[in-house]
Amino acid sequence: MSSVLELRGVHRTHGRGPAAVHALRGVTLRVRPGELVAVMGPSGSGKSTLLNLAGGLDGPSHGEVLVEGRSLAELSRRELAAVRRRTVGYVFQDFNLLPSLTAVENVALPLELDGVSVRRARRAALASLSEVGVTDIAGRFPDQMSGGQQQRVAIARALVGERRLVLADEPTGALDSGTGEAVLRVLRERVDAGAAGLLVTHEARHAGWADRVIFLRDGVVVDSSGPLDTADDLLEHRA
Amino acid sequence: MHGYQLRAAFEESVGGTWALNIGQVYTTLSRLERDEFVRALPESESGQRPYEITETGRAELSRWFSTPLERTDRPRDELAIKLALAMTTPGVDVTTVVQSQRTAGVRALQEYTRLKARPIEPDDLSWRLVLDSLIFQCEAEIRWLDHCEMTILRHRPGLAAPVSAPVEERERNSR
Protein backbone atom coordinates (compact mmCIF):
# COMPACT_ATOMS: atom_id res chain seq x y z
CA MET A 1 0.00 0.00 0.00
CA SER A 2 1.35 3.44 -0.83
CA SER A 3 2.45 5.68 1.98
CA VAL A 4 0.72 8.90 2.93
CA LEU A 5 3.96 10.12 4.45
CA GLU A 6 7.44 9.04 3.59
CA LEU A 7 10.81 10.29 4.83
CA ARG A 8 13.80 9.05 2.86
CA GLY A 9 17.19 9.44 4.48
CA VAL A 10 16.22 12.78 5.95
CA HIS A 11 18.85 15.00 7.57
CA ARG A 12 18.21 18.37 9.14
CA THR A 13 21.07 20.50 10.32
CA HIS A 14 20.67 23.87 11.99
CA GLY A 15 23.61 26.25 11.65
CA ARG A 16 27.01 25.59 10.08
CA GLY A 17 30.51 24.52 10.93
CA PRO A 18 31.49 23.44 14.42
CA ALA A 19 28.36 25.04 15.91
CA ALA A 20 26.03 23.05 13.63
CA VAL A 21 23.29 21.08 15.36
CA HIS A 22 22.30 17.86 13.65
CA ALA A 23 18.63 17.62 14.56
CA LEU A 24 17.97 14.62 12.32
CA ARG A 25 20.53 12.27 10.83
CA GLY A 26 19.28 9.94 8.14
CA VAL A 27 15.72 9.18 9.21
CA THR A 28 13.73 6.86 6.97
CA LEU A 29 10.09 6.35 7.82
CA ARG A 30 6.81 5.51 6.15
CA VAL A 31 3.29 6.00 7.40
CA ARG A 32 0.55 4.22 5.48
CA PRO A 33 -3.20 4.84 5.46
CA GLY A 34 -4.75 3.32 8.58
CA GLU A 35 -1.42 3.37 10.38
CA LEU A 36 -0.53 5.31 13.50
CA VAL A 37 3.19 5.68 14.15
CA ALA A 38 4.41 7.02 17.47
CA VAL A 39 7.73 8.78 17.85
CA MET A 40 9.34 8.67 21.27
CA GLY A 41 12.54 10.22 22.49
CA PRO A 42 13.91 12.67 25.04
CA SER A 43 13.73 16.40 24.42
CA GLY A 44 16.29 17.41 21.84
CA SER A 45 16.15 14.02 20.13
CA GLY A 46 14.60 15.49 16.98
CA LYS A 47 10.92 14.63 17.50
CA SER A 48 9.60 18.12 16.79
CA THR A 49 11.93 18.59 13.83
CA LEU A 50 10.57 15.34 12.42
CA LEU A 51 7.00 16.56 12.80
CA ASN A 52 7.79 19.94 11.23
CA LEU A 53 9.42 18.26 8.24
CA ALA A 54 6.50 15.87 7.85
CA GLY A 55 4.09 18.81 7.74
CA GLY A 56 6.19 20.83 5.30
CA LEU A 57 6.76 23.57 7.87
CA ASP A 58 10.49 23.00 7.51
CA GLY A 59 12.62 21.43 4.78
CA PRO A 60 15.34 18.79 5.09
CA SER A 61 19.05 19.59 4.61
CA HIS A 62 19.38 16.27 2.74
CA GLY A 63 16.95 13.56 1.83
CA GLU A 64 13.35 13.71 0.78
CA VAL A 65 9.93 14.13 2.37
CA LEU A 66 6.98 12.84 0.35
CA VAL A 67 3.32 13.40 1.15
CA GLU A 68 0.96 11.20 -0.85
CA GLY A 69 3.85 10.33 -3.13
CA ARG A 70 4.79 13.91 -3.96
CA SER A 71 8.16 15.24 -2.92
CA LEU A 72 7.58 18.43 -0.95
CA ALA A 73 10.85 19.91 -2.25
CA GLU A 74 9.53 19.81 -5.79
CA LEU A 75 6.37 21.75 -4.99
CA SER A 76 6.03 25.46 -5.51
CA ARG A 77 5.36 27.56 -2.46
CA ARG A 78 1.73 27.72 -3.44
CA GLU A 79 1.41 23.97 -3.95
CA LEU A 80 3.11 23.37 -0.62
CA ALA A 81 0.62 25.66 1.10
CA ALA A 82 -2.18 23.72 -0.56
CA VAL A 83 -0.78 20.40 0.74
CA ARG A 84 -0.59 21.87 4.22
CA ARG A 85 -4.19 23.06 4.03
CA ARG A 86 -5.77 20.09 2.28
CA THR A 87 -3.78 17.03 3.23
CA VAL A 88 -2.11 17.63 6.57
CA GLY A 89 -3.82 18.34 9.89
CA TYR A 90 -2.17 19.22 13.19
CA VAL A 91 -3.11 18.47 16.77
CA PHE A 92 -1.11 20.30 19.41
CA GLN A 93 -0.72 19.91 23.14
CA ASP A 94 -2.54 23.18 23.82
CA PHE A 95 -5.38 22.50 21.31
CA ASN A 96 -4.80 25.80 19.44
CA LEU A 97 -8.48 26.49 18.84
CA LEU A 98 -9.36 30.09 18.01
CA PRO A 99 -11.13 31.45 21.11
CA SER A 100 -13.53 33.71 19.24
CA LEU A 101 -14.90 30.90 17.04
CA THR A 102 -17.32 28.12 18.04
CA ALA A 103 -16.35 24.45 17.70
CA VAL A 104 -17.99 24.10 14.31
CA GLU A 105 -16.45 27.37 13.07
CA ASN A 106 -13.00 26.26 14.22
CA VAL A 107 -13.36 22.98 12.34
CA ALA A 108 -14.77 24.66 9.22
CA LEU A 109 -12.04 27.31 9.11
CA PRO A 110 -9.36 25.37 7.18
CA LEU A 111 -11.92 24.51 4.49
CA GLU A 112 -13.14 28.09 4.25
CA LEU A 113 -9.54 29.30 3.96
CA ASP A 114 -9.22 26.84 1.12
CA GLY A 115 -12.13 28.45 -0.74
CA VAL A 116 -14.89 26.00 0.17
CA SER A 117 -18.29 27.71 0.54
CA VAL A 118 -19.38 28.50 4.08
CA ARG A 119 -22.33 26.16 3.85
CA ARG A 120 -20.33 23.18 2.55
CA ALA A 121 -17.53 23.85 5.03
CA ARG A 122 -20.05 23.87 7.87
CA ARG A 123 -21.60 20.62 6.71
CA ALA A 124 -18.17 18.95 6.52
CA ALA A 125 -17.26 20.38 9.93
CA LEU A 126 -20.40 18.94 11.52
CA ALA A 127 -19.63 15.56 9.95
CA SER A 128 -16.11 15.71 11.33
CA LEU A 129 -17.37 16.70 14.80
CA SER A 130 -19.79 13.80 14.69
CA GLU A 131 -16.92 11.42 13.87
CA VAL A 132 -15.16 12.39 17.08
CA GLY A 133 -18.40 12.25 19.06
CA VAL A 134 -18.89 15.92 19.99
CA THR A 135 -21.75 17.23 17.81
CA ASP A 136 -23.52 18.36 20.99
CA ILE A 137 -20.94 21.09 21.60
CA ALA A 138 -20.79 22.38 18.00
CA GLY A 139 -22.06 25.81 19.05
CA ARG A 140 -19.79 26.25 22.07
CA PHE A 141 -16.72 28.46 22.28
CA PRO A 142 -13.43 26.91 23.43
CA ASP A 143 -13.69 28.45 26.92
CA GLN A 144 -17.02 26.66 27.34
CA MET A 145 -15.47 23.25 26.67
CA SER A 146 -13.41 20.87 28.81
CA GLY A 147 -9.84 20.12 27.77
CA GLY A 148 -10.86 16.73 26.41
CA GLN A 149 -13.65 18.30 24.33
CA GLN A 150 -11.27 20.93 22.96
CA GLN A 151 -8.83 18.25 21.92
CA ARG A 152 -11.58 16.26 20.19
CA VAL A 153 -12.54 19.40 18.30
CA ALA A 154 -8.87 19.86 17.37
CA ILE A 155 -8.78 16.30 16.00
CA ALA A 156 -11.99 16.98 14.05
CA ARG A 157 -10.32 20.09 12.61
CA ALA A 158 -7.15 18.18 11.77
CA LEU A 159 -9.11 15.63 9.76
CA VAL A 160 -11.92 17.71 8.28
CA GLY A 161 -12.63 17.31 4.57
CA GLU A 162 -10.22 15.19 2.60
CA ARG A 163 -7.26 15.46 4.92
CA ARG A 164 -5.53 12.17 5.43
CA LEU A 165 -2.45 12.89 7.47
CA VAL A 166 -2.68 13.92 11.09
CA LEU A 167 0.43 15.09 12.91
CA ALA A 168 -0.04 15.12 16.66
CA ASP A 169 2.45 16.76 19.01
CA GLU A 170 1.94 15.56 22.60
CA PRO A 171 -1.84 15.78 22.14
CA THR A 172 -2.58 14.49 25.64
CA GLY A 173 0.02 16.57 27.43
CA ALA A 174 -2.38 18.92 29.20
CA LEU A 175 -5.06 16.32 29.96
CA ASP A 176 -5.62 13.98 32.91
CA SER A 177 -4.97 10.30 32.22
CA GLY A 178 -8.60 9.30 31.64
CA THR A 179 -9.31 12.20 29.28
CA GLY A 180 -5.99 11.71 27.51
CA GLU A 181 -6.91 8.11 26.90
CA ALA A 182 -10.30 9.10 25.46
CA VAL A 183 -8.54 11.49 23.06
CA LEU A 184 -6.15 8.77 21.91
CA ARG A 185 -9.08 6.44 21.42
CA VAL A 186 -10.62 9.01 19.06
CA LEU A 187 -7.34 9.52 17.23
CA ARG A 188 -6.99 5.75 16.88
CA GLU A 189 -10.54 5.47 15.47
CA ARG A 190 -9.91 8.20 12.92
CA VAL A 191 -6.73 6.47 11.81
CA ASP A 192 -8.54 3.12 11.64
CA ALA A 193 -11.06 4.84 9.36
CA GLY A 194 -8.27 5.46 6.84
CA ALA A 195 -6.14 8.41 7.92
CA ALA A 196 -2.40 8.17 8.54
CA GLY A 197 -1.10 9.45 11.87
CA LEU A 198 2.23 10.49 13.31
CA LEU A 199 2.13 10.93 17.06
CA VAL A 200 4.95 12.50 19.03
CA THR A 201 4.84 11.61 22.70
CA HIS A 202 7.17 11.03 25.60
CA GLU A 203 4.72 8.70 27.33
CA ALA A 204 5.01 5.04 26.45
CA ARG A 205 1.45 4.47 27.64
CA HIS A 206 0.23 6.73 24.87
CA ALA A 207 2.60 5.32 22.30
CA GLY A 208 0.96 1.96 23.03
CA TRP A 209 -1.98 3.11 20.90
CA ALA A 210 0.25 3.21 17.82
CA ASP A 211 0.86 0.39 15.37
CA ARG A 212 4.54 1.14 15.43
CA VAL A 213 6.73 2.99 17.88
CA ILE A 214 10.07 4.43 16.86
CA PHE A 215 12.68 5.78 19.23
CA LEU A 216 14.76 8.80 18.32
CA ARG A 217 18.10 9.54 19.94
CA ASP A 218 20.16 12.48 18.80
CA GLY A 219 18.36 12.59 15.49
CA VAL A 220 18.68 8.91 14.68
CA VAL A 221 16.05 6.16 14.84
CA VAL A 222 17.70 3.76 17.27
CA ASP A 223 14.84 1.40 17.84
CA SER A 224 11.57 0.49 16.20
CA SER A 225 8.84 -1.81 17.32
CA GLY A 226 5.37 -2.83 16.34
CA PRO A 227 3.94 -5.60 14.25
CA LEU A 228 6.55 -7.22 12.07
CA ASP A 229 6.65 -6.06 8.47
CA THR A 230 4.77 -8.31 6.07
CA ALA A 231 6.42 -9.89 3.06
CA ASP A 232 4.80 -7.27 0.82
CA ASP A 233 6.34 -4.51 2.89
CA LEU A 234 9.71 -6.15 2.59
CA LEU A 235 9.45 -6.27 -1.17
CA GLU A 236 8.42 -2.65 -1.10
CA HIS A 237 11.42 -1.79 1.07
CA ARG A 238 13.80 -3.52 -1.26
CA ALA A 239 12.33 -1.98 -4.38
CA MET B 1 -17.50 -23.14 45.84
CA HIS B 2 -15.44 -25.96 44.47
CA GLY B 3 -12.08 -25.67 42.74
CA TYR B 4 -13.26 -25.17 39.18
CA GLN B 5 -15.78 -22.54 40.27
CA LEU B 6 -13.07 -20.72 42.20
CA ARG B 7 -10.79 -20.74 39.20
CA ALA B 8 -13.54 -19.41 36.93
CA ALA B 9 -14.40 -16.65 39.40
CA PHE B 10 -10.74 -15.63 39.73
CA GLU B 11 -10.14 -15.59 36.00
CA GLU B 12 -13.26 -13.53 35.44
CA SER B 13 -11.96 -10.91 37.89
CA VAL B 14 -8.54 -10.63 36.30
CA GLY B 15 -9.76 -11.07 32.73
CA GLY B 16 -7.53 -13.97 31.81
CA THR B 17 -4.39 -11.91 32.39
CA TRP B 18 -3.35 -14.49 34.99
CA ALA B 19 -4.22 -18.06 34.01
CA LEU B 20 -4.42 -20.59 36.84
CA ASN B 21 -4.00 -24.31 36.44
CA ILE B 22 -6.44 -26.37 38.43
CA GLY B 23 -3.64 -28.17 40.30
CA GLN B 24 -2.51 -24.80 41.67
CA VAL B 25 -6.06 -24.12 42.87
CA TYR B 26 -6.29 -27.42 44.77
CA THR B 27 -2.79 -27.09 46.28
CA THR B 28 -3.73 -23.64 47.53
CA LEU B 29 -7.05 -24.91 48.89
CA SER B 30 -5.35 -27.67 50.84
CA ARG B 31 -2.88 -25.17 52.33
CA LEU B 32 -5.77 -22.88 53.27
CA GLU B 33 -7.53 -25.86 54.86
CA ARG B 34 -4.37 -26.77 56.80
CA ASP B 35 -4.20 -23.20 58.15
CA GLU B 36 -7.93 -23.32 58.93
CA PHE B 37 -8.78 -20.45 56.61
CA VAL B 38 -11.27 -22.64 54.71
CA ARG B 39 -13.11 -25.86 55.54
CA ALA B 40 -14.10 -28.66 53.17
CA LEU B 41 -17.77 -29.52 52.92
CA PRO B 42 -19.18 -32.94 51.97
CA GLU B 43 -18.65 -33.96 48.37
CA SER B 44 -21.49 -33.25 45.96
CA GLU B 45 -23.17 -36.03 43.99
CA SER B 46 -21.02 -35.19 41.01
CA GLY B 47 -17.94 -35.86 43.15
CA GLN B 48 -16.84 -32.25 43.58
CA ARG B 49 -15.82 -31.00 46.97
CA PRO B 50 -16.97 -27.48 47.83
CA TYR B 51 -15.12 -25.35 50.35
CA GLU B 52 -16.30 -22.51 52.55
CA ILE B 53 -14.36 -19.74 54.19
CA THR B 54 -13.98 -19.86 58.00
CA GLU B 55 -14.10 -16.96 60.46
CA THR B 56 -10.29 -17.12 60.68
CA GLY B 57 -10.21 -17.02 56.90
CA ARG B 58 -12.42 -13.94 56.80
CA ALA B 59 -10.22 -12.18 59.34
CA GLU B 60 -7.10 -13.04 57.29
CA LEU B 61 -8.76 -11.83 54.10
CA SER B 62 -9.77 -8.57 55.71
CA ARG B 63 -6.22 -8.12 57.05
CA TRP B 64 -4.84 -8.78 53.53
CA PHE B 65 -7.08 -6.17 51.95
CA SER B 66 -6.29 -3.57 54.59
CA THR B 67 -2.50 -4.04 54.66
CA PRO B 68 -0.44 -2.45 51.88
CA LEU B 69 1.99 -4.79 50.15
CA GLU B 70 5.62 -4.20 51.03
CA ARG B 71 7.86 -3.76 48.02
CA THR B 72 10.37 -6.12 49.62
CA ASP B 73 7.74 -8.90 49.57
CA ARG B 74 7.85 -8.99 45.79
CA PRO B 75 10.34 -10.99 43.80
CA ARG B 76 13.62 -9.33 42.90
CA ASP B 77 13.66 -7.63 39.55
CA GLU B 78 15.53 -9.94 37.19
CA LEU B 79 15.81 -7.21 34.57
CA ALA B 80 17.65 -4.82 36.90
CA ILE B 81 20.05 -7.61 37.80
CA LYS B 82 20.48 -8.51 34.12
CA LEU B 83 21.40 -4.92 33.21
CA ALA B 84 23.78 -4.61 36.14
CA LEU B 85 25.53 -7.81 35.05
CA ALA B 86 25.51 -6.69 31.40
CA MET B 87 27.38 -3.54 32.47
CA THR B 88 30.16 -5.53 34.04
CA THR B 89 30.36 -8.60 31.80
CA PRO B 90 32.96 -8.27 29.03
CA GLY B 91 31.62 -8.78 25.51
CA VAL B 92 28.02 -7.91 26.37
CA ASP B 93 26.61 -4.80 24.67
CA VAL B 94 24.41 -3.33 27.36
CA THR B 95 22.63 -0.90 25.00
CA THR B 96 21.50 -3.83 22.86
CA VAL B 97 20.13 -5.48 26.00
CA VAL B 98 18.33 -2.24 26.86
CA GLN B 99 16.94 -1.76 23.36
CA SER B 100 15.69 -5.29 22.86
CA GLN B 101 14.01 -5.23 26.26
CA ARG B 102 12.42 -1.90 25.46
CA THR B 103 11.15 -3.17 22.12
CA ALA B 104 9.63 -6.18 23.89
CA GLY B 105 8.08 -3.82 26.44
CA VAL B 106 6.54 -1.62 23.76
CA ARG B 107 5.14 -4.65 21.95
CA ALA B 108 3.54 -5.88 25.16
CA LEU B 109 2.17 -2.39 25.74
CA GLN B 110 0.64 -2.36 22.26
CA GLU B 111 -1.01 -5.71 22.93
CA TYR B 112 -2.50 -4.52 26.22
CA THR B 113 -3.66 -1.31 24.59
CA ARG B 114 -5.34 -3.28 21.82
CA LEU B 115 -7.29 -5.21 24.45
CA LYS B 116 -8.16 -1.95 26.08
CA ALA B 117 -9.31 -0.34 22.83
CA ARG B 118 -12.43 -2.50 22.90
CA PRO B 119 -15.54 -0.72 24.19
CA ILE B 120 -15.92 -0.78 27.97
CA GLU B 121 -18.67 -2.99 29.43
CA PRO B 122 -19.56 -2.45 33.09
CA ASP B 123 -18.65 -6.08 33.87
CA ASP B 124 -15.15 -5.52 32.48
CA LEU B 125 -14.16 -3.08 35.16
CA SER B 126 -12.16 -5.43 37.39
CA TRP B 127 -10.03 -6.82 34.59
CA ARG B 128 -9.65 -3.33 33.10
CA LEU B 129 -7.93 -2.32 36.30
CA VAL B 130 -5.64 -5.35 36.09
CA LEU B 131 -4.92 -4.45 32.46
CA ASP B 132 -4.15 -0.87 33.48
CA SER B 133 -1.77 -2.20 36.11
CA LEU B 134 0.10 -4.14 33.40
CA ILE B 135 0.14 -1.05 31.18
CA PHE B 136 1.51 1.20 33.92
CA GLN B 137 4.15 -1.38 34.87
CA CYS B 138 5.19 -1.66 31.25
CA GLU B 139 5.38 2.10 30.93
CA ALA B 140 7.48 2.36 34.06
CA GLU B 141 9.88 -0.27 32.75
CA ILE B 142 10.18 1.50 29.38
CA ARG B 143 10.84 4.82 31.12
CA TRP B 144 13.46 3.22 33.30
CA LEU B 145 15.10 1.59 30.25
CA ASP B 146 15.09 4.99 28.49
CA HIS B 147 16.73 6.45 31.55
CA CYS B 148 19.34 3.65 31.57
CA GLU B 149 20.14 4.26 27.91
CA MET B 150 20.56 7.99 28.44
CA THR B 151 22.69 7.47 31.54
CA ILE B 152 24.93 4.99 29.77
CA LEU B 153 25.29 7.31 26.75
CA ARG B 154 26.17 10.19 29.04
CA HIS B 155 28.65 8.44 31.27
CA ARG B 156 30.13 5.76 29.05
CA PRO B 157 29.68 6.94 25.45
CA GLY B 158 32.01 4.21 24.21
CA LEU B 159 29.48 1.60 25.28
CA ALA B 160 26.73 2.92 23.06
CA ALA B 161 25.79 0.93 19.99
CA PRO B 162 26.76 2.78 16.81
CA VAL B 163 23.94 5.11 15.91
CA SER B 164 25.00 5.77 12.35
CA ALA B 165 22.80 3.02 10.91
CA PRO B 166 19.09 3.78 11.21
CA VAL B 167 17.08 0.82 12.37
CA GLU B 168 15.36 0.20 9.03
CA GLU B 169 18.77 -0.19 7.43
CA ARG B 170 19.92 -2.48 10.21
CA GLU B 171 16.82 -4.62 9.81
CA ARG B 172 17.23 -4.76 6.07
CA ASN B 173 20.85 -5.78 6.40
CA SER B 174 20.00 -8.53 8.83
CA ARG B 175 17.33 -10.02 6.59
Q: pLDDT tens digits for B96-135?
A: 889 888 988 999 999 999 888 877 777 778 888 888 999 9
Are β-strands A62-67 and A70-71 bridged in parallel, bridged antiparallel, or unpaired? antiparallel
Q: Could you tell me which CATH class the domain A33-60+86-238 is placed in?
A: alpha beta
Interface membership of B139 toward A (CB under 8 Å):
yes
- The verdict on a CB contact (< 8 Å) between B164 and A220 is yes
A177–B contact, CB cutoff 8 A: no
Do A128 and A103 meet the contact criterion of CB atoms below 8 Å apart? no
The whole-angstrom separation of Cα A5 and Cα A173 is 24
d(CA A59, CA A39): 19
Q: What confidence tier does B64 reach under pLDDT thresholds 50, 70, 90?
A: confident
For range B8-15, the mean pLDDT: 80
| Min Cα–Cα distance to chain A from B108, Å | 9
Judged by CB atoms closer than 8 Å, whether chains meet at A226 and B106 is answered as yes
pLDDT tens readout for residues B68-106: 777 666 667 788 888 888 888 888 888 888 988 898 899
Residue-level pLDDT at A234: 39
* Nearest chain A Cα distance for residue B135, angstroms: 7
CA distance A207 to B5: 38
Residue A237 pLDDT: 47
In this complex, is the C-beta atom of A120 within 8 Å of any C-beta atom belonging to chain B? no
The three-point CA angle A165-A166-A170 to 5° equals 155
- Mutate which of B96, B106, B151 to disrupt the A interface (most A C-beta within 10 Å)? B106
Alpha carbon distance A107, A111 (integer Å): 8
A27 interface with B at CB cutoff 8 Å? yes
B144 close contact with A: CB closer than 8 A? no
Specify the 3-state DSSP secondary structure of A47: helix
* Interface contact flag, A217 B153, Cβ < 8 Å: yes
Instruction: Give the pLDDT score at B62.
Output: 86
CA distance A123 to B73: 60
The ipTM, to two decimals, is 0.73
Interface test with B, best of A39, A183, A222, A235 (most B CBs within 10 A): A222
Domain boundaries, chain A: 33-60+86-238
Query: Residue B48 has what pLDDT?
Result: 86
Determine the distance in angstroms separating the CA of B14 from the nearest CA of chain A, rounded to an integer: 20
Residue ranges in chain A modelled with pLDDT below 50: 227-235, 237-239
- Cβ atoms of residues A195 and A3 within 8 Å: no
Q: What are the helix and strand counts (H, E) for chain B?
A: 7, 2
Query: CB distance from A8 to chain B under 8 Å?
Result: no
pLDDT at residue B32, as a whole number: 94
Q: Is A208 part of the contact surface with chain B (CB cutoff 8 Å)?
A: yes
Which residue type sits at B163?
A: V
Q: Judge whether residue B15 has pLDDT over 90.
A: no
